[in-house]
Amino acid sequence: MRQVPYDAKKEFVNDLKYHGLTGGKSSMWKSLLNSIITYDNYALDEERKIMLQDLTWSFFTNIRSDGSKFKTNAYMIPGTEPQSESEQWKSSRWFRVTASTAKQAHNLGGLLVDTTTHIDSTYRKLYNYLAYHVWNLHPFSTSDTAYGIDNEDRARTDYHDVMLNSSPGIKVLKTGFWVNKLWPELGCSPDGIVYDPNESNKYGLVEIKCPKLFKKIVPADVFKSLEQKVITNKDLYTACFSRPTSNDIKLELKTTHGYYFQIQFQLAITGLNWCDFVLWSNIGKPNIERIYRDDQLIVTMIGNITNFVEKCNRTRNF
């Protein structure tokens, strides 16, 4: 088999990094998938495996070299502040595991540690993750996600206004896509960087959610609304917060929910110690919960996710 020069490999990797999901064109992964999806029990000879491992190594070498111009481990990629409106943001994130899928990638990474059990279901979950989040075969967008994007700026302003009452010097800045040199294959896009002079670690994050439930009630009225049957237990079945036991108490994010993993992933990437989790309502005061760094979870989660990426990347290279 013909040996591929290093420069050609590097060019290939860069093409994967920057031309996958931009410009409205089909990704390279989708084209490749369409050509092999009909094969069952696809087998690779040893020479092919070595080449794919070499490509995987080149991939990691390339993304690690991107961070060499930054002085700190955690850095924001310039030009990504507009987030979904930025081509640089899109090209920087599409090949990385990002915070919104942290729990899913964490669970997959844990399954891939032991490939001797539940092989079929594990690979089915792996395929579904790749299809949705890497190959972009099933672009995901709903009216609820659009509602959140449309109201993010307003929600960030409301959060700042509420926080000024307890911390007059607080500042909130919109930010872009963050990467950490320790794990350059991962990345996150927090909803803001927060400066709070009242905290010992003065810089943190803010993560904003705009649940459709809070279009008709405010967060502080969840308990009362249940009693008055304005909402039902069914409305809270998939809620990210624990059911309140009285009225006017702060809603608390479930530590088993994907949003909790998302926040801890962001804290790991940015190296910060706290994040304000905001449940926003268009008709009243938002619910704000300060969530601190959970190092025990972070160690396990990052270990599982990096394991997932290493094994997933060989699959992505075919």
Q: Give the whole-angstrom CA distance, residue 266 versus residue 102.
A: 9
Question: 220 and 279: one domain?
Answer: yes
Residue labelled with tokens 């999806």: 37
List phi, psi (to 5°) of 183.
Answer: -140, 75
Based on the domain organization, do 53 and 131 belong to the same domain? no
Separation CA 138–CA 135 (nearest Å): 8
Domain range for 40: 1-66
pTM beyond 0.75: the answer is yes
Q: Please say which residue of 66, 94, 115 terminates a domain.
A: 66
Report whether 97 contacts 105 (CB < 8 A). yes
Same domain, 141 and 29: no
Average pLDDT, the chain: 82
Domains in the chain, number: 2
Edge-to-edge strand list for the sheet holding 178-180: 74-76, 178-180, 183-188, 97-98
Q: Are residue 108 and residue 46 in the same domain, yes or no?
A: no
pLDDT digits (tens, 9 = 90+) for 62-114: 777 778 889 999 999 999 999 988 899 998 888 899 999 999 999 988 888 76
d(CA 14, CA 206): 32
> In Å, what is the CA distance from 312 to each residue of 112, 128, 134, 264, 289?
10, 12, 10, 22, 34
3-state helix, strand, coil in the chain (%, to 5): 50, 15, 35
- Which pair of structure tokens corresponds to residue 189? 């896009």
Q: 83 and 158: one domain?
A: yes
Residue 71 lies in a domain: no
Do residues 120 and 224 both lie within one domain? Answer: yes
pLDDT at 141: 64
Q: Which residues contact 18 (CB under 8 A, 6 or more apart)?
A: 91
265: domain CATH number is 3.90.320.10
Best-predicted range by mean pLDDT (19-23, 36-40, 42-46, 312-316)? 42-46
Asked if pLDDT for residue 221 goes beyond 60, the answer is yes
